[in-house]
Structure 1
Amino acid sequence: MERKQQHYEGLNEQEIHDSRQQHGTNVLTPPAQTPLWKRFATKFSDPLIVILLVAGLLSVGISCYEYFGMHEGYSVFFEPVGIFVAILLATGLSFFFEERANKAFSILNQVNDDEPVEVIRDGNTTRIAKRDVVVGDVVLLDTGAEVPADGVLLESVGLSVDESSLTGEPMCWKSTHENDFDPDATFPTNHVMRGTKVMEGHGVFRVERVGDATENGRVFVASQIDNSVKTPLTEQLERLGRVITLLSYSFAALILVGRTAMFFTNFSFEWVHFVQYFLDTIMIGVTLIVVAVPEGLPMAVTLSLAYSMRRMLKTNNLVRKMHACETMGATTVICTDKTGTLTRNQMRVHEMKANTTDETMRALFMEGIAVNSTASLDFSRPENPTVLGNPTEGALLLWLHEQGMDYREIRESAEVLGEITFSTENKYMATLVRSALVPGKTILYIKGATDIIRNFCSPVTNTSWDEIMNQLLAWQNQAMRTLGFASRIVDDSTDTSHGKESLEKIITGEPRFVFQGIVAISDPVRPEVPAAVEECIKAGIQIKIVTGDTPGTAREIGRQVGLWNESDNEKNIITGPQFESLTDDELENRVFDLKIIARARPMDKKRLVETLQRKAQVVAVTGDGTNDAPALKAAHVGLSMGDGTSVAKEASDITIVDNSFSSIGRAVMWGRSLYLNIQRFILFQMMVNVVACLIVLTGAFIGTQSPLTVTQMLWVNLIMDTFAAMALASLPPSESVMNNKPRNRHEFIITRAMTLQITIIGGIFYIILMAFFHLMEHADITSLSAILHPNFTPHKEITPYELSLFFTLFVMLQFWNMFNARAYASKQSALSFKQCKGFGLILLLILLGQIMIVELGGEMFSVTPLHPIDWLILTVATSPVLLIGEIIRFIKRKL
């Protein structure tokens, strides 16, 4: 193959050195790695963890006072230890699962900087490592080579480049002739870009940018910018943390003021007594703060996220960053690329129309497809052969394969005598062969633009040119590539010794070619995409296509997937240059109308994402190319494709392993269900904590001993809540959540309905418990079987046995209420354990744990064993909590 039409000297040693000093090396700057300890430390920035740390430190102080000042037992340290165990469990689990996901995320950004590149230096052709390429180098390109840097073409012979990793375009024609320049091309026709791949032809270019200065490098650097966009869940938990902090400290201050006033009202002032009383009051206030803080919430969030990460992998969603699980549920806009996400990124024959029914002519048609081609197929996986070379020509070979024909046998049986490669000048390619189908005959096959080929053909039979051109126009309106085929038998006396020149004379001479047929080739939409798009739209999620393709192609793909409809017009589509010319204000006013951005450049999608975020949208971005990386990084959730570039995967939060857009819908369903599970846990735990706080508060003001001891509260606030977190976090997703609109990211995580339930049910529980406590104060209860005939006594005294009854009543009320929490926002029965057997197991563990603590806890938990009849009565007496909930849900189902 002839390399050059002219001589190039290239750079000398001094020029190489000077260029490297001035422009740097051809290496992408790797992202800075955060140390392991810093990654772990960030887990302690969670607002609820901060509150827990403060509560833990206060609890340590009070425990030290009780142990050293009041000479109480070592059990006073159980609560602070329990709080710090809760902190370590929550932070440790979160850190463990994220680090494990990072290890599982094996495909990171790896650039092979040692790949050999052919360059001309000092007048000689030589090979150097990609990292050693400098600005000014003259680089030679062959079919299959990856472009090592950005530059301008000096020569181009039949050159086409796959720019899909930057623009989404799998085939871009390159030329040095101004007449061939495409003014609408994303990158100039006479430029090649780093990271793109030569699909066919060859060329020579001069390097203009290397390393981070290349378009690929700019995209890579932009993708490494750490975006500080807060997730919706983070914002809502921060708000919840502020509310809990305000309420708990307000109640603690109320206790301090109220009890101090009580002291001066009921006691004579003595400094010693006042200090003792004041310290006791502070201890009560701190206990209330500790009780109010939901220790189990960070654990519930972490367990829910970790459980979802594991289960989502089974639905082909590899979650790398834990928060992405929930954020997908709040997504309001999905910005998606076209190639490889909505489409297969594999050219395929859509329809083939042969212009003959004669078997011999059809056989010649197939021989022409096999021999008049520069592509080939890789059969290393026979069930799924892949294309090597031009994807359009590869689609024709795949069509032959589907017809049961082996193109290799056809190609090997025909002797190639000459060929003309495709170029933008002639718009066709031709191959002269000694045919195996017509022994002793030489046949010239030609394929290309039908409007060009028809000029070389005889009048068609069985149809008309008008019908053929109308069919081609219909295909082209559907964004398909079209080709025409023709052939002619060449007389053996014809002179073919002058190669391309001889073949061109044959093509334009007599006799004329026989027109064989036409074909439509497209990158087909993935079959599952239309249904997945419809699901997302019904779920209230906007979808926007951002692609480097032409407006016509992008609009047609939008139509095929169900995004573009007859009511849409020019305000719903825009090109990259038009998009770039919009001011920020103009874009914000138009952004919700846009459905498609065509001819988009890499930074256009990132700007779109940032504009949507300024409009209070939760944005997810899908992409598989290097060009998608900045947007993937900037989005609330970045979703890369399993066969995408490593740069895209590194920038993403979730990798769609099977490349299916339908997996995105599954991720949204999981995210919404996960958020609902977190709400269910908050509903349950806040009800527990509100009732406990009211009991502590009441005890502080009426001057009696607290009905619940510190160690009992440890069980209620930590262990029981941890079990509840496991039970409610492991609930399976519900498809019904896809019928709802995306939630408002600014709404409080505790909804009005939840507040109503907490207030009403919590109030009922409080009244029941305080009534029982009041009964115990004035009656000597030795067994619940005799509670209908209490033995009233004149003095107030509560026995350890009565406190054990009160503690168990409190837990059993919450035990049954966990069923109601599980059924929150669902009309289904709470007794349905389908797909969530773990819920029943955890409930059993809670019940057995309560029995063990009461029967064996003794002095540590301030309890004494209960009679078996007491357990039975308490269980049955508290069960209406569930029964009433079931009746209400039954009525809702009927209504």
Structure 2
Amino acid sequence: MNQKKIYTGLNDREVADSRRKYGENLLTPPRQTPLWLRFLRKFKDPLVIILIVAGFFSICISFYEHYGLDEGAEVFFEPVGIFVAIFLATGMAFFFEEKANRAFAVLNQVDDDEPVEVIRNGNTTKIAKRNVVVGDVVLLNTGAEVPADGVLLEATALHVDESSLTGEPVCRKSTHREDFDKEATFPTDHVLRGTKVMEGHGVFRVEKVGDSTENGKVFVASQIDNSVKTPLTEQLERLSRLVTRASYAIAAVILIARLAMFFLSCDFSWIHFLQYLLDSVMICVTLIVVAVPEGLPMAVTLSLAYSMRRMLKTSNLVRKMHACETMGATTVICTDKTGTLTQNQMRVHEMEIDCTTAEHQALAWEGIAVNSTASLDFSDPRHPTVLGNPTEGALLLWLHDQGCDYRQLRAGAEVIDELPFSTERKCMGTLVRSARLPGKTILYIKGATDIIRHDCTSVMGNRSWDEIGARLLAWQNQAMRTLGFACMILPEDFGISMQEGAISKILDSMKERQCGLVFQGIVAIADPVRKEVPAAVRECLDAGIDVKIVTGDTPGTAKEIGRQVGLWTEKDNDSSVITGPEFEALSDDKLARRVGSLKIIARARPMDKRRLVEALQAQNEVVAVTGDGTNDAPALKAAHVGLSMGDGTSVAKEASDITIIDNSFRSIGRAVMWGRSLYQNIQRFILFQMTVNVAACLIVLAGALIGTQSPLTVTQMLWVNLIMDTFAAIALASLPPLESVMHDKPRDRHAFIITPSMNRQIIGVGGFFFALLLGLLYLLEYASVSSMSGLLAWHGGGKRELTNHELSLFFTVFVMLQFWNMFNARAFATGRSAFHFKGCGGFGMIALMVFVGQVFIVQFGGRMFNVTPLSLADWFAIIASTSFVLWIGELVRLFGRKRRSLWQ
């Protein structure tokens, strides 16, 4: 037998002393790779290595030219510029990836902040897991994760999953020596950090924390899994392979063409050939560096990091990064009711329990107090808060409102056995030696009225079952949760051993003994719909996402909630709702035909939810599932995205991908919006980068084929690559989400990331840039141009070499075309002007950095970047003449908006 005790726990001074002596409940993270080594790893890319080797040989030739041929020190400028550009590009990439990693690192701290129920200063309260100290008295309930190692003080039907340490999925725990398993890896009366309570409840005293725990001894810090291959990463890999092959082919053609042009020339010497060969190799390799979208992983990483950080502000704590993107492709949301659609602030609406006599009242109040796993936190005596199950907590609050202290009732009753609640049983029981009725052994039962009535032989107050049923139906039609209470005073000669397991034997023997429970009464507990939920559900429905309610409540309650949130309408009929037993009875073929039309599954059991998810996935749906209990874990793991609730169990959170901190359905809609916007941001980056790729590859190829010198040098192309892969990735990946994406239908998760409209823009704009630049190259090649205004007075002459000033004009025009096109890419698929900067301050700052960087390089880059300073007039002329790219884009978007408005 288990005598209930009142524990006082540690006081504040004892907590401080324990923390000083034994330390905090934190695991020391593993030693990280040094920062300098992580930086050097950025140079492992084969293309970067080739550039470095080529740059080294270029320096060697420069030494020969300087010391052997007596040329000036300016021969060192270009090879030094190559190394500066390489270090700048890799350094910027390293900096922003480190910044993204720091954003992810916060997720590793989530587990340490999980709330734990402890008793301190004689009061039950919640503290962060990290704040647990040796000597703390900790309460364990079903679904909780054990926060530290300790010895059990109480254990009721307690089963713990120790697979994380021993491989044993379920171990029975007990405080009775006769139940100890001598062959167990760890003592039967001990619980260990990191293990999970699968059933029952208990109380234990902490003996070890942090690194001293068994979990700490074998701890290997978990890292965020960035290797999950989502539809997005698969599409990006496909795109990378396509562009890589094309760029290698173009580079090979350029190399062959340049070598052919060299051999056709009359001036041949081995030193010049070697220099020319190195220049050609570096141009080809640099072109590949520019063309290959190595910035895509950074764009995805930065987009995810930005989204994860900003989603936290909308109460979405992303635990697995791929969930950000997958939420954007969601087509079905299977949501639970309590706490997600409703406020999860359970309060007794009406209590109809017989208290007409002192004995009946004693039975009622003691039953509510002892037959419960919830507790109240009296940190604020005027407003106690519920710890544990909200429904049971509502009953304790009702008892508190009656002026009764449930703690005294619990302390006075001697608990013999407990029958924990389960979704299959739908009731719970406690067998006690009563303090309110001395000398009496009483069995208290609480649960679904339609379940426990079968074990009742009488009703207190002489009410009829028809009357009780009608009252229950009226409450359920108002979306209230209902419970029934029953009890049985056992005669002294009942003939069953009063020990653990006695309740099951009593219930099994009732029919044989022709005795049963006495039904005490019923209660209605209200949990109103959250105010923001109807609009949030409507938003998801308008976005083409089906919403299905999966709940353990009755069909009447579920339909009423569905009606209040706007999911259940007058057009719906009984074919859209099904109960758990009916759902289980459906064959796979029938379920496949019916699953799309289902809106509500009532009286659902754990495996019903998982089967629903798998049936929807078989129909090619992308499924998101919400859940807060241990029983929801199978469905959360099976879903494409599992969404646990902020006050859910540790098991549910462990199985989920995203934790909804405020438990609100509105936050789920925000997650979908972020996912869709993230996907569009990546598309914008690809649109911008591929347009530059087309223009750069074609212009360098054309230069090689027509026999001119390369219009873009190695250092200039590396600067262009820095703009594309780093700055553009940051600028376009950090754009804020658009609510307009919630008016679109879910995207096809198998569709290629480059849409037909993107294809048209990439080929059209990239080809136009190439034609424009080729024409400019021709003008510069066949005339002496000293300023942009000189192009207006152009007169063709004989072919000649391009001057550094002309190359500076060409390089700046090339960059400014891409600069203005970055604004067009930003406005892609927004339906807005490119000048709409609300919430886009980061984009504006980065655009300014690109422009200032270009000015700095041209004005001060000199031989390092093969440029000469331009006049102020040239800058104004280039900015004005290239800005037509943006103005044309604005006109196209304006006419597009007008055309859409006419059709609407």
Normalising by structure 1, we get a TM-score of: 0.68
Superimposed CA distance per residue, residues 830-858 of structure 1 (whole angstroms, 9 cap, x where no aligned partner) = 11222222322222222222111111111
The SS at the match of 1:788 is helix
Q: Are the counterparts in 2 of residues 332 and 619 from structure 1 also a CA contact under 8 Å?
A: yes
Superimposed CA distance per residue, residues 381-435 of structure 1 (whole angstroms, 9 cap, x where no aligned partner) = 457533479865753564688xxx563499999xx99xxx999999999x9999x
Superimposed CA distance per residue, residues 334-387 of structure 1 (whole angstroms, 9 cap, x where no aligned partner) = 3334444344455333457999xxxxx9xxx99999788427754324575334
Inter-CA distance 409–107: structure 2 relative to 1 (3 Å threshold): closer
Q: Tell me whether 1:114 sits opposite 2:150 in the alignment.
A: yes
After TM superposition, give the deviation of residue 711 of structure 1 in Å: 1.1
Inter-CA distance 650–756: structure 2 relative to 1 (3 Å threshold): same
In structure 2, what is the equivalent of residue 374 of structure 1? 369
Could you tell me how far apart the structure 1 residues matched to 2:279 and 2:524 are? 85
Could you tell me how far apart the structure 2 residues matched to 1:706 and 1:472 are? 85
In structure 1, what is the equivalent of residue 472 of structure 2? 472
- AA aligned opposite 1:114: G
Inter-CA distance 135–791: structure 2 relative to 1 (3 Å threshold): closer
Could you tell me how far apart the structure 2 residues matched to 1:307 and 1:347 are? 36
Could you tell me how far apart the structure 1 residues matched to 2:248 and 2:471 are? 76
Inter-CA distance 518–670: structure 2 relative to 1 (3 Å threshold): same
Q: Tell me whether 1:59 sits opposite 2:56 in the alignment.
A: no
Inter-CA distance 883–483: structure 2 relative to 1 (3 Å threshold): closer
Q: Percent identity?
A: 57
1:591-610 aligned at under 5 Å gives the runs: 591-596=595-600, 602=606, 605-606=609-610, 608-609=612-613
After TM superposition, give the deviation of residue 270 of structure 1 in Å: 11
In structure 1, what is the equivalent of residue 834 of structure 2? 830
Could you tell me how far apart the structure 2 residues matched to 1:791 and 1:319 are? 63
After TM superposition, give the deviation of residue 725 of structure 1 in Å: 2.5
Q: Tell me whether 1:680 sits opposite 2:684 in the alignment.
A: yes
The SS at the match of 1:780 is coil
Q: Tell me whether 1:575 sits opposite 2:580 in the alignment.
A: yes
Inter-CA distance 702–615: structure 2 relative to 1 (3 Å threshold): farther
The SS at the match of 1:374 is helix
- AA aligned opposite 2:572: S
After TM superposition, give the deviation of residue 549 of structure 1 in Å: 5.3
The SS at the match of 1:787 is helix
1:374-773 aligned at under 5 Å gives the runs: 374=369, 377-381=376-380, 385-387=384-386, 394-395=393-394, 398=397, 407-408=403-404, 457=461, 470-476=470-476, 480-482=480-482, 520-547=524-551, 557-564=561-568, 567=572, 569-570=574-575, 573=578, 575=580, 579=584, 591-596=595-600, 602=606, 605-606=609-610, 608-609=612-613, 612-613=616-617, 615-719=619-723, 721-773=725-777
Could you tell me how far apart the structure 1 residues matched to 2:648 and 2:552 are? 16
In structure 1, what is the equivalent of residue 60 of structure 2? 68
Could you tell me how far apart the structure 2 residues matched to 1:745 and 1:576 are? 33
Q: Are the counterparts in 1 of residues 290 and 693 from structure 2 also a CA contact under 8 Å?
A: yes
In structure 2, what is the equivalent of residue 22 of structure 1? none
Gaps of 5+ in 2: 5-26, 64-74, 115-144, 157-161, 182-194, 204-221, 420-426, 438-444, 495-518, 900-904
In structure 2, what is the equivalent of residue 183 of structure 1? none
Could you tell me how far apart the structure 2 residues matched to 1:653 and 1:388 are? 25
Q: Are the counterparts in 2 of residues 66 and 76 from structure 1 also a CA contact under 8 Å?
A: no
In structure 2, what is the equivalent of residue 255 of structure 1? 254
In structure 2, what is the equivalent of residue 332 of structure 1? 331
Inter-CA distance 75–576: structure 2 relative to 1 (3 Å threshold): farther
After TM superposition, give the deviation of residue 289 of structure 1 in Å: 1.3
After TM superposition, give the deviation of residue 889 of structure 1 in Å: 2.0
1:14-25 aligned at under 5 Å gives the runs: none
- AA aligned opposite 1:711: T
Could you tell me how far apart the structure 2 residues matched to 1:679 and 1:369 are? 63
The SS at the match of 2:643 is strand
Q: Are the counterparts in 1 of residues 485 and 520 from structure 2 also a CA contact under 8 Å?
A: yes
Could you tell me how far apart the structure 2 residues matched to 1:853 and 1:880 are? 23
In structure 1, what is the equivalent of residue 200 of structure 2? 196
Could you tell me how far apart the structure 2 residues matched to 1:762 and 1:134 are? 59
1:20-35 aligned at under 5 Å gives the runs: none
After TM superposition, give the deviation of residue 116 of structure 1 in Å: 0.8
- AA aligned opposite 1:860: M
After TM superposition, give the deviation of residue 288 of structure 1 in Å: 2.3
After TM superposition, give the deviation of residue 775 of structure 1 in Å: 1.2
Q: Are the counterparts in 2 of residues 349 and 522 from structure 1 also a CA contact under 8 Å?
A: yes
Superimposed CA distance per residue, residues 716-768 of structure 1 (whole angstroms, 9 cap, x where no aligned partner) = 11146422222222222111111111111121212111111122222222222
Could you tell me how far apart the structure 2 residues matched to 1:410 and 1:106 are? 31
Q: Are the counterparts in 1 of residues 39 and 94 from structure 2 also a CA contact under 8 Å?
A: no
Could you tell me how far apart the structure 1 residues matched to 2:223 and 2:866 are? 56
Q: Tell me whether 1:779 sits opposite 2:774 in the alignment.
A: no
> Comparing 855-864 with 605-614, which one deviates more in the overlay?
605-614
The SS at the match of 2:747 is coil
After TM superposition, give the deviation of residue 698 of structure 1 in Å: 0.8
Q: Aligned Cα RMSD in Å?
A: 5.6
Could you tell me how far apart the structure 2 residues matched to 1:830 and 1:269 are? 52
In structure 1, what is the equivalent of residue 865 of structure 2? 861
- AA aligned opposite 1:63: G
Superimposed CA distance per residue, residues 80-109 of structure 1 (whole angstroms, 9 cap, x where no aligned partner) = 445543553465344333223212453465
After TM superposition, give the deviation of residue 224 of structure 1 in Å: 13
Inter-CA distance 612–709: structure 2 relative to 1 (3 Å threshold): farther
Could you tell me how far apart the structure 1 residues matched to 2:340 and 2:629 are? 10
In structure 1, what is the equivalent of residue 503 of structure 2? none
After TM superposition, give the deviation of residue 873 of structure 1 in Å: 1.5
Could you tell me how far apart the structure 2 residues matched to 1:134 and 1:323 are? 28
The SS at the match of 1:195 is strand
Inter-CA distance 137–101: structure 2 relative to 1 (3 Å threshold): closer
Could you tell me how far apart the structure 1 residues matched to 2:736 and 2:37 are? 31
> Comparing 572-581 with 783-792, which one deviates more in the overlay?
572-581
After TM superposition, give the deviation of residue 194 of structure 1 in Å: 3.5
Could you tell me how far apart the structure 2 residues matched to 1:634 and 1:529 are? 25
Could you tell me how far apart the structure 1 residues matched to 2:85 and 2:428 are? 82
> Comparing 609-618 with 625-634, which one deviates more in the overlay?
609-618
Q: Tell me whether 1:851 sits opposite 2:864 in the alignment.
A: no
The SS at the match of 1:673 is helix
In structure 2, what is the equivalent of residue 188 of structure 1? none
Superimposed CA distance per residue, residues 286-310 of structure 1 (whole angstroms, 9 cap, x where no aligned partner) = 2321221234333322222222222
- AA aligned opposite 1:323: H
After TM superposition, give the deviation of residue 77 of structure 1 in Å: 3.0
Q: Are the counterparts in 1 of residues 328 and 674 from structure 2 also a CA contact under 8 Å?
A: yes
The SS at the match of 1:685 is helix
> Comparing 367-376 with 816-825, which one deviates more in the overlay?
367-376
Q: Tell me whether 1:100 sits opposite 2:92 in the alignment.
A: no
The SS at the match of 1:303 is helix
Could you tell me how far apart the structure 2 residues matched to 1:617 and 1:670 are? 19
Inter-CA distance 135–642: structure 2 relative to 1 (3 Å threshold): closer
Could you tell me how far apart the structure 2 residues matched to 1:786 and 1:318 are? 59
> Comparing 779-788 with 608-617, which one deviates more in the overlay?
608-617
> Comparing 539-548 with 694-703, which one deviates more in the overlay?
539-548
Q: Are the counterparts in 1 of residues 228 and 322 from structure 2 also a CA contact under 8 Å?
A: no
After TM superposition, give the deviation of residue 615 of structure 1 in Å: 4.8
Q: Are the counterparts in 2 of residues 348 and 522 from structure 1 also a CA contact under 8 Å?
A: yes
In structure 2, what is the equivalent of residue 160 of structure 1? none
Superimposed CA distance per residue, residues 200-245 of structure 1 (whole angstroms, 9 cap, x where no aligned partner) = xxxxxxxxxxxxxxxxxxxxxxx99999862122122112111211
The SS at the match of 2:837 is coil
Inter-CA distance 138–849: structure 2 relative to 1 (3 Å threshold): closer
Q: Are the counterparts in 2 of residues 374 and 389 from structure 1 also a CA contact under 8 Å?
A: no
